[in-house]
């Protein structure tokens, strides 16, 4: 799994950081998403998918890798 962010569309709602703080934070400059681990371990894959599904701007894309 790889996490990809469309930074141009992020509006800083913060749902990702609230849902999966192990994977996401917010920039101190503009509040947009910061990915802490773009290739999360297996135990964080469900929180990553949950955060992606809750993003109001749909800027988080989960890419499944072999």
pLDDT score of 66: 78
List per-residue pLDDT tens for the chain, 66 residues long.
999 999 999 999 999 999 999 999 999 999 999 999 999 999 999 999 999 999 999 999 999 987
Distance CA 26, CA 16 (A): 9
Separation in Å, CA 11 to CA 21, 38, 45, 53, 61: 17, 19, 23, 15, 15
All domains of the chain, ordered by start, with CATH?
2-63 (3.30.70.20)
């Amino acid at each position: 799994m790889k996490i990809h962010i469309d930074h141009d569309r992020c509006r800083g709602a913060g749902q990702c950081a609230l849902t999966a703080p192990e994977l996401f934070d917010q920039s101190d400059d503009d509040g947009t998403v910061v990915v802490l681990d773009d290739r999360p371990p297996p135990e964080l894959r469900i929180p990553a998918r949950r955060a992606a599904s809750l993003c109001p701007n749909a800027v988080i894309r989960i890419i499944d890798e072999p």
